[in-house]
Chains A and B, each alone.
Chain A
Amino acid sequence: MKLSRKVAFVGVFTALSMVVSTLERLIPLSLVVPLPGVKLGLANIMVMFVLYKRGARLAWSVQVLRILLSALLFGTPVSFMMSLCGGAAALLVQQLLYRKRHFSVIGVSIAGAASHHIGQIFAAAAVLQSIYVVAYLPILLLLSIVTGALTGLILYTIIK
């Protein structure tokens, strides 16, 4: 793929991922699950789409750009660090798993959602300088099965 096409591709999918994460804020998920940090992770659909269609390098570009732009537009230094740790952990795990034939889109998506939470919890532990927040991880991991499966299903219908 030519460089100009890559730039355009990354641009379009960065924009798309930011649009869906803005739309996601309209879904009052916190009314159903009143826990901070729980979200559907719709933006991950776009990142995973790029990962499956165009490989890890472009997926990393989309992920890093998305996190950087969201931080500049809506974020604080703390929220930037949190989403960077979560996003990097998620994409790292997804990158390791997506070519393995034993994992389908849904499994990779669940693994990504779970590692996103793990990354975020360790970022929070670093910010608070206390490892105690890890106690919050089990419930997040349980919920990540649901949110990961959901985004995986959506991606599955797009990709197939």
Chain B
Amino acid sequence: MFADIFKKTKWGDIWIVAGLLVISCVVFLFPAPRTSEAVVEQNGKVIHVLDLKDPGNEGRQIKVEGNYTNLLEITDTGISVVSADCPDGVCMQGVVGKTTRMIACLPNRLMVYLPQEKTEVDVILQ
């Protein structure tokens, strides 16, 4: 049933796939060094900057209130949303610093991410 599919594939299809691969690989090949600080943003404003490497921060819980309430927790592996009353609960899936670089909770306009380290432009130009 699918045997003749490769005959039907046209040049434009290959260009689309190639273009998508190039766009995504360019970002994967040049991962910027990241800091150990996680930034918590709500409504586009930074509300917390948390040092994940600081042992004093381990186990710390931060409540973020807005349209909904998210409870963030710092563990030895990273920072994650441990409880949330938003409708979908997508934000509770990952751990920033371990499994993912960013958590976003759209209903609460909340974002937790590791900012990229600022590199000197001169270094890139060399």
Q: Which A residues lie at the B interface, using CB under 8 A?
A: 30, 34-36, 76, 78-79, 82, 97, 100-107, 110-111, 114, 124, 127-130, 132-133, 135-139, 141-142, 144-145, 153, 156-157
Contact = CB atoms under 8 A, between A and B. Distances in A.
B20 A114 contact: yes
Interface of B: 1-2, 5, 8-14, 16-17, 20-21, 23-28, 41, 43-44, 87-88, 90, 93-94, 99, 101-102, 104, 106-107, 109-111, 113
Given A128-B104, A130-B44, A130-B111, A107 B13 contact: yes
Given A104-B10, A106-B9, A135-B101, A124 B106 contact: yes
Nearest to A37: B90
14 contacts: A34-B94, A76-B87, A97-B12, A104-B8, A106-B8, A107-B14, A110-B17, A127-B106, A127-B109, A128-B41, A132-B102, A133-B104, A138-B28, A156-B8
Contacts of A135: 27, 101-102, 113
Contacts of B43: 128-129
Contacts, number: 104
Given A76-B107, A141-B24, A133 B102 contact: yes
Listed residue (A114, A127, A130) with the most chain B CB atoms within 10 angstroms of its CB? A130
B104 A104 contact: no
Question: What secondary structure prevails in chain A residues at the interface with B?
Answer: helix
A107 B110 CA distance: 35
B17 A132 contact: no
